[in-house]
Structures are given as structure tokens and as C-alpha cells.
Amino acid sequence: MSFVGSIARTSTQGRRSDDIRTTRSMLTGRWLTASSVGLLGVARINRTVGEEQLMPTVTLQPTEAKQIDAFVQDGSTTDRSTSEGLRVGFASNSKEYRTLMEWDLSQVLPKSISATGIRSVTLTMNHKEDTNFRSTHTKDLYIQVVNGSFSEATTWVYRDGSSEAWTAAGGDVQVAPGTYTQTYTGDSDLVVTSSDASSGNLLHFMRDAITNEGMKLRIRISMVSGGTNRNVNFWSANAGSESDRPKLDITYTGVPGIGFKTVTTRLSSLRRRKRAGRKK
């Protein structure tokens, strides 16, 4: 699965940006101003120990290259991996649509990152079209963790698209991480945000992916039963416009490739060295 990763500047917390003390960059050895520290992420002041904490936000978004997201339909063996849409809900014949996605977190996150280093995550899926599902309609959507890998050509029957059958048709899901439920209103984008690690939410799923799934976040999105001809279509990774494609924003402690503890230890070391130089 291929992604483009970028670091986005987020707002300063704890103090105004012009109150943040300058600090030396462990990457370049130069002194950084509050504004240049912001280029690396959020420079937050820990009011207890008075140390700067860097919290970058990275964005994962599929590129034109091969990646995994597809929708499957109840009973169908049709490969829909090249579709520009990701359907969720029920067709006019009551057959269900589900969407399966895989995000490769190793593309941009530090290899040494711990699960608890992930502080928040937001999944954005842009609305493409609805079938008899308008702004006056609401339905609960379920987000669950898929049990094991699947290919881009996955179908309702086969996880690899041709021969390896799902244990439970339509995509096996894991019980332990739980189920996240979000009410969806027709004619709108789906935006799911989690900033606490309670069982059964997106942040919990993300941390579990780092600890147990080789940094692969695999999710299934489905709609609560009871609908007929009520389905929504979100843009897939095959969308012609990059801005329409699914997006995953992740905020974590540390800078890319460097853990938070390393940052604080290094900054402290540089300060001690500077003070020692003054004594001389």
C-alpha cells in the first residue's frame, strides 16, 4: 500500500507561540525560534518540568500507486478494487455493501514508535453520492478491525479475490478491539476522530495495529442492518482528485525517527553543555 506522508503544523498549546523559549535543534544544532520549532510540530510547554515537547501530525493519503481499499457486496465475487467509490449500506435488493481498507502506518511513522506515542487519529472519507439516503436520513456505521490480511481484489466470498475464503463472508473481524459506532447523516462526509484509547475506538485500533498487526491498520466499515436501498458512496483511493481520496491524520509524540524521550534527553544534554561552557 503506497502513501504520501507529510507533516502538518498544528496550533500551539499551553502558551502563545511568542512565549515559547528558543531551543537548540537536535537535528541541525542551530537555535530555533518559536516559529521554526512549529515547523517540526507543536512546541508544547510541559508546565510541570518546563521542557519542550514536539507533537507532529502526519497525514496518510493513498497515491496513484497500488493500495488496498475496496467495497464488497453480499454474495458477489466481483472485484471492485478499481472503483472510484467505496459503498456502505444496502442495495435495492437488500444486499449489503461493506468497505474494507488497509493503511500501512510504517510508511511515515518512526519504526521505534510505541503504541502509546499515538495521541489522536482522524479518518476522513469524502462523500461521493447517496442512493435514496439524503440529509434527512441517519444510520449508524460500524468500524471494526479486520482479522488478518486481504488483497486488493478482495470480494464478499474470498479475502484474496479467488481462492482463500473468508471464515465469515464479508470480511472477518476481530472481537477483542471492539466495535466503533458513529451515526452518519446522508449527503455528508464521514469524519471519525479519536483522542482517547478506550476499547472500541479508532485510536485503540491504531495502537493495536502498532503492537499486534505489524503497523497495518485494517478496518471494515458497515451499516447497521434494517435498510433497503439505503447506501452511501465515498470516494476511494482511485478518485481522480487527490483531495477526494480517504485521509488518515495521526498526531504522535516525538519527531519523525526520534522518540519523545530521546528529544528531551538530548535537549537537556545540550543545555548542560552550554552551561558548562559558560563556567569556563
pLDDT, residue 130, reads: 85
pLDDT, residue 265, reads: 25
Query: Residue 180: inside a domain, yes or no?
Result: yes
Return the higher-pLDDT residue of 94 and 234: 234
Residues 155 and 134 in one domain: yes
Query: Residue 24: inside a domain, yes or no?
Result: yes
C-alpha cell at 158: 474470498
Residues 89 and 162 in one domain: yes
Average pLDDT over residues 97-118: 88
Residues 48 and 111 in one domain: no
C-alpha cell at 51: 521542557
Query: Residue 85: inside a domain, yes or no?
Result: yes
Residue 165 contacts residue 159 (beta carbons within 8 Å): yes
Number of domains in the chain: 2
Residues 275 and 189 in one domain: no
Query: Residue 251: inside a domain, yes or no?
Result: no
Residues 238 and 267 in one domain: no
Residues 52 and 103 in one domain: no
Q: What average pLDDT does the chain have? A: 74
Of the ranges 147-156, 245-254, 264-273, the best mean pLDDT one: 147-156
pLDDT, residue 162, reads: 93
Query: Residue 41: inside a domain, yes or no?
Result: yes
Residues 69 and 206 in one domain: yes
Q: Which band of pLDDT confidence, cut at 50, 70 and 90, is reported for residue 36?
A: very low
Query: Residue 250: inside a domain, yes or no?
Result: no
Residues 96 and 123 in one domain: yes
Residues 103 and 183 in one domain: yes
> E strands, the chain, where?
3-8, 23-24, 31-32, 42-45, 52-55, 57-62, 69-73, 85-90, 96-104, 118-125, 127-131, 138-145, 179-185, 190-194, 216-223, 230-235, 247-252
Residues 47 and 101 in one domain: no
| Residue numbers of the domain that contains 153 | 65-245
Query: Residue 138: inside a domain, yes or no?
Result: yes
pLDDT, residue 67, reads: 65
Residues 209 and 262 in one domain: no
The stretches of the chain forming alpha helices (DSSP H) are 34-38, 202-212, 260-279
pTM across the whole model: 0.72
Query: Residue 252: inside a domain, yes or no?
Result: no
Q: Tell me: the pLDDT tens digits for 2-21?
A: 333 433 433 333 332 322 23
